[in-house]
Copies of this chain bind each other. A is one copy, B any other.
Amino acid sequence: MTDTGWRPVKRTRTFEDVLAQIERRIVEDGLTAGDRLPAERQLAEQLGVGRSSVREAMRVLETLGVVSSQVGRGPDAGAVLTSRPDTALTDLLRLHLGLASLELREVIDTRLMIERWAADRAATARADTSALAAALAAMASASSAEEFVEHDTAFHCALADASGNRLIAAIMRSLRDSMRRYAVEAVDRLGDTSVLQADHARILAAVGAGDAAEAARAVTEHLAHAYPSLFPPMP
């Protein structure tokens, strides 16, 4: 029962070693998006491992949105460092929603939190609102729920972008992407999108006017309109 001083032998899979070495190289050499990694075969030989282990490490890095693999030959071929945290986050959320280890309520609450913050920031910073206005206009001419949600997503992602925080923007994009199905259902259930469009216009106006408090309020009420079942009218 007492500590014998023995520790279980750390079982490090080969690809994890490869992963660690690649990460070390990224940090130490200061590699950034656009830089190339050695070819799989070359890396395998240099590290003294099989190509499959290198491939599994690459697969992990690709899943995390850090590298992108291109076949063929030339400067763009091979494993190139990228910066796509949002696709990785999207997959993460979608799978865990499917696994029921996350509930829609939790995702929407998170979205509300982020969006209030982003609206506040964007308004305070007097951010450029042209992308917001463009999405708003596109929404007005949407002819289906799918199309509406498409531009609605663009609007809200533009709001997150306007906050100036890329992590927030990436999380927002992922939340929207993984929720697309539920958003379309919500719009279908509502039937009429005029309330939502008015909300959007109000958000845009508040951000444009630099009124942070009003922007946050507008966002909050907008989500309550879109998901009335999750935000019951307060007494």
Contact = CB atoms under 8 A, between A and B. Distances in A.
Contacts of A167: 93, 102, 106-107, 109-110
B98 A23 contact: yes
This chain's copy number in the assembly = 2
Interface string A103-137: 00011011001100100000000000000000000
Name which of A64, A91, A106 has the most chain B CB atoms within 10 A of its CB.
A64
Interface in A29-75: 30-33, 52, 55-56, 59-61, 63-66
Contacts of A88: 64, 92
Grouping DSSP codes into helix (H, G, I), strand (E, B) and loop, the A interface class, with mixed when no group exceeds half, is helix
A159 interface: no
Contacts of A66: 95-96, 99
A166 B102 contact: yes
Nearest to A112: B117
Contact of A26 (B56, B85, B89, B98): B98
